[in-house]
Amino acid sequence: MPANDLLAANARGRRLLPGIEEWPEPRRNNARYTFLHPAARSLYGNWEDVAAATVAHLRAAAGRYPDAPDVTGVAGELVVRSSPTCGSGKRCATAPTGASTSPTPPPGPWS
């Protein structure tokens, strides 16, 4: 899973990434969600840090698995389809210095 594919999730798990259920299962991917889903920027209070960490992860995965089709496919798609993302662009070159946070689950029952 070097490309951060979402392999399985129950209803409670899908609530952590609102709207991901709208995508077909083969397209469900954390990196793709972070950059291409309209809900991602409002989901993460520290979106730029999450985006920078995602880029750093994909770069590391591409270095370790240079011929992995899942990594090259997601990275290529994000280069083509995402808009300029991490401010100056320099922040995307490395992992962020601050701690990354997970999204806060929405309020309400989890059943």
pLDDT level of residue 101 (50, 70, 90 thresholds): low
User: What does the domain layout of the chain look like in residue ranges?
Assistant: 1-8+24-82
CA distance 4 to 41: 18
The span from the CA of 74 to the CA of 30, in Å, is 10
Mapped onto helix, strand or coil, the DSSP state of residue 6 is coil
pLDDT 10s digits, 7-39? 888 888 888 899 999 999 888 999 999 999 999
Q: Tell me the three state secondary structure of residue 95.
A: coil
Across the range 79-107, mean pLDDT stands at 55
What is the distance between the alpha carbons of residues 109 and 94, in angstroms, rounded to a whole number?
A: 38
What percentage of the chain exceeds 90 in pLDDT? Answer: 37
